[in-house]
A and B are shown apart, each in its own frame.
Chain A
Amino acid sequence: MSADVDLDHVTIRFGDFTAVQDAHLGIKGGEFFSFLGPSGCGKTTILRAVSGFLEPTEGDVRIGGQSMRGIGPNKRPTALIFQNLALFPLMSVADNIAFGLEVRGVGKAERRKRADELLDLIALQGQGDKKVSELSGGQKQRVAIARALAVEPEVLLLDEPLSALDLKLRQHMRTELRAIQQRVGITFIYITHDQGEALTMSDRIAVMSQGVIQQVGTGADVYENSQTSFVASFVGENNPFVGRITAVDSNYAVVESTFGPLRGRNLSGLRTGDQAMLFVRPESLSYLNGGTVPENTIQSTVVNSEFEGSFFSVFLQGEGSKSIVMSMTNSGDLPAFEQGAAATVGFQADRAVVLPVGEVADE
């Protein structure tokens, strides 16, 4: 069984400090939903409000349409996986997994049977009698998931569960988590500051900054149609150009930047005279020396270039020492980017977005 989770204008304050500001969104049953944001933006706080460890100062959390106000974490149909896993070190692996069942008064034999089934699910057959300390990082991870799944929650909450693992294992666990979610079919609410994790696993993502939910959408949506300067700069790499809008036509706007007029999609209805930021992604830039000239061109010099295997990153410097990143797929016939050489680059207007001036995430 999976349940919808609704945040209904949730605001959470600690004294004078507002950790979450008017979060309002609906998560559908069976969805893999991620909260993505930098450290300290309020992700854990939201998760604790859903799991019941704290009550929203204002607004309401609803699970399966039911208000959760006044309902403690031990009474909610949620299970939480902690950032440090919080396995019980003095219990065996099987006892850890079956703890939720023990609490519910399930008999010993039945508990063991369920634990063994779950050990199968996480590919740790026959390891139920081990101590937790005898497991590897990735195995502990999976035991934590099994322990949470054992109580058959309608919603599984995961607080940066992969952050303690090394890169290889992290990537492996991404696939595994996604597979487990599809097998059990319950709602997953996943918290991370790693955009790669959020983009690869989630059905939808909420991007947060300083307690405010900036945008909710699919990975592609958040990436392609960023609605705020924070989202545009935090999710993936982006090149911002600041300037005043000089012209607006149907869905496009022209920003008068230090490189001259640049045209991009006007997603938030900005008007002539507004200060704005135009964002263009490194892979949307193309190298124009000698080729066709698109509507937006930028004159720059090459600072250096990095070979990354499947693609090339070229660091350019333009007017006013502004740095620009361009990435090109490694097609085999790339020009040599000599340091100090002049480079003309350009982009299609529909590959750029024009947004109101706002917070820019620093990498």
Chain B
Amino acid sequence: MTGFFRRNGIVISTYLLLAVFVWVAIMIVLPQAYMLDFSFRFNLPPGKIGGPEDVYTLKNYRYLLFGRPGDEAMFNVLHLTVFLRTIIASIFVTLINFAICYPIAYYIAQVAKGGQARALILILILPFWVNEILRAFAFRILFGTSGVINAFLQTFGIIDQPIDFIRADIALYAGLSYAYILLMVFPLYNAIESLDHNQVEAARDLGSPWWRIHWRVVMPHAKPGIASGCTLVFMLTAGALAAPQILGGPSSFWFTQIIYRWFNTGGNWPQGAAYAIVLLLACLIFVLTVMRLFKVSLGEIAK
């Protein structure tokens, strides 16, 4: 500690420590601690907060599992289904994302020549200058019943009746897959870029078909990047709100939408906090599972 102060001088050291402390405490720990606290409390009117009724309870978590006491169903089927669907759909979207991004990242990192690679990266980045909401609406225009894709398919006589992509949730999955594509491409690109191309050629020279080169040489090398991209995309997808709101069909509820309603129209912050905490826990479990699966440490993911 004294070394740190001596190296940076008293003013800069104090500033750095303070900045880190403020960042960690005020931006991360404090709000989440509040949320955690909220999630174990009753939804009381302002007058009763701090009063004798303001005690801790598991009620909010119980509600997600079993619904209201006295409901005829055993479980809160509606919300649990939405939760599970959100998790499974997010895993699915993550996999699609990986399948799309891996070839792109490999191409940019190992195959494309300098100028071409830069151009490709630019093409990938540019659409993200448009904000998320506009992009989601653009997908609505693309996938709507009278949208570009239906119009295209109909003019060429591939289909007679327009397909309702929105109701079928295809628009939602496409929109979600696209929304966080950069967060998959860049970790993958970074990881693959550091692979010595001679290793790819050596594998090929030893008779390896292309898929085995990827399976045995490129992917093992890119493992930290794959883990980092997958966890990022999963968490952001599971926590997405705009895309499900705009592209979701009438039947589809994303778990974040329910959380949003508890906070907003429902006016029940403790209930919303409990739901949010459950989603956070699910994400953490996913990250830890992926890390275990890929045998990578947190340090490697952050590289």
Contact = CB atoms under 8 A, between A and B. Distances in A.
A100 interface: yes
Interface string A87-106: 11011000000011011100
Contacts of B199: 86, 88
Given A84-B196, A86-B196, A99-B216, A74 B201 contact: no
Tell which of B196, B205, B212, B220 has the most Cβ of chain A within 10 Å: B205
A99 B215 CA distance: 12
A99 B205 contact: no
Interface string B186-215: 000000000010110111111111001000
Interface residues of B, number: 17
B206 A103 contact: yes
A90 B209 CA distance: 19
A311 interface: no
A53 interface: yes
A82 B204 contact: no
A53 B221 CA distance: 23
B198 A103 contact: no
Contacts of B203: 88, 99, 103
Given A84-B198, A88-B199, A79 B205 contact: yes
Given A82-B201, A90-B220, A99 B196 contact: no
Contacts of B220: 90
A86 B207 CA distance: 15
A88 B220 CA distance: 10
A74 B198 contact: no
Interface residues of A, number: 26
B207 A53 contact: no
* Interface-centre pick from A51, A100, A148 (highest chain B CB count, 10 A): A100
Residue from A78, A83, A86 having most chain B Cβ neighbours under 10 A: A86
A73 interface: yes
A148 B203 CA distance: 10
Contacts of A104: 207
A74 B216 contact: no
A281 interface: no
Given A86-B196, A88-B217, A74 B204 contact: yes
Contacts of A86: 196, 198-199, 201-202
Contacts of A84: 196, 198
A104 B199 CA distance: 18
A48 to B, nearest CB: 9
Contacts of B205: 51-53, 73-74, 78-80
Contacts of B216: 88, 91, 99, 102
Interface string B42-54: 0000000000000
Contacts, number: 59
B77 to A, nearest CB: 46
B207 A82 contact: no
A164 to B, nearest CB: 13
A103 B208 contact: yes
B204 A73 contact: yes
B221 A90 contact: yes
A122 interface: no
Contact of A53 (B201, B209, B212, B217): B201
Interface in A221-241: none
B207 A151 contact: yes
B108 to A, nearest CB: 21
Contacts of A83: 198
A147 interface: yes
Contact of A73 (B198, B201, B212, B221): B201
A79 B196 contact: no
Which of B203, B212, B221 has the most C-beta atoms of chain A within 10 angstroms of its own C-beta?
B203
Nearest to A75: B207
A100 B221 contact: no
A79 B206 contact: yes
B206 A100 contact: yes
Contact of B206 (A52, A53, A90, A151): A151
A147 B196 contact: no
Nearest to B198: A86
Contacts of A52: 205
Contacts of A80: 201-202, 205
B285 to A, nearest CB: 27
Given A86-B196, A88-B217, A90-B220, A103 B212 contact: yes
Query: What are the nearest 10 A-B pairs in CB distance?
Result: A86-B198, A100-B206, A86-B202, A74-B207, A103-B208, A103-B207, A80-B205, A82-B198, A90-B220, A73-B205
Given A74-B206, A99-B216, 17 more contacts: A51-B205, A74-B207, A80-B201, A80-B202, A82-B198, A82-B201, A84-B198, A88-B199, A88-B202, A90-B220, A91-B216, A100-B206, A102-B216, A103-B212, A148-B206, A151-B206, A151-B207
10 contacts: A74-B209, A79-B206, A82-B201, A86-B198, A87-B202, A88-B216, A90-B220, A91-B216, A103-B206, A103-B207
Interface of B: 196, 198-199, 201-209, 212, 216-217, 220-221
